[in-house]
Amino acid sequence: QVQLVESGGGLVQPGGSLRLSCAASGRTFSNYVVGWFRQAPQKEREFVAHLIWSTGSTSYTPAVKGRFTISGDAAKNTVDLQMNNLRPDDTAVYFCAVRRQFTPNSVQSYNSWGQGTQVTVSS
C-alpha cells in the first residue's frame, strides 16, 4: 500500500501562491491516479485535481482551473499542486490520495490518503 505525506501548506494573502507536495513511500505512482482533494469546515471533501501518472493526463474542478496546476516528479516520487491567485474560499485542509488507474473517478475509489495540510488564505 502507498503511504502518502503532504507538505507545503500555510497562511497566504489573497492573490498569493503556495505549492503543495505529496510524497509517496512504499511504492511508486505507476499505475495510479493521484488526486488532490480539499475539505473546508462544515463542508464535504471535494475533488480539486488529479494526475493519471502513466499518461500525464490531468483534470481540474472548474473552481481552480487556470489557477492550480498538478504535476508529477518521477525522480522525487512526488505529485505537486501549484496554487496561484489564491482566494479566501480556497481555505481548507488539502489531502492527496491515490486510486488504481481504470477505477471509477469517485472519492470512494481512492484507497490511500495522506494526513492533510492546512491552507489558509486571509489578509
Report pLDDT for 98. Answer: 96
* DSSP alpha helix (H) spans, the chain: none
CA pair distance 82, 17, nearest whole angstrom: 8
1 band by pLDDT with thresholds 50, 70 and 90: confident
The pLDDT of 99-117, averaged and rounded, is: 93
CA pair distance 32, 4, nearest whole angstrom: 13
Name the residue with cell 491567485: 85
b vs e for 59-89, b when ≥16 Cβ sit within 10 Å of the residue's Cβ?
A: ebeeebeeebbbebeeeebbbbbebeebeee
91 band by pLDDT with thresholds 50, 70 and 90: very high
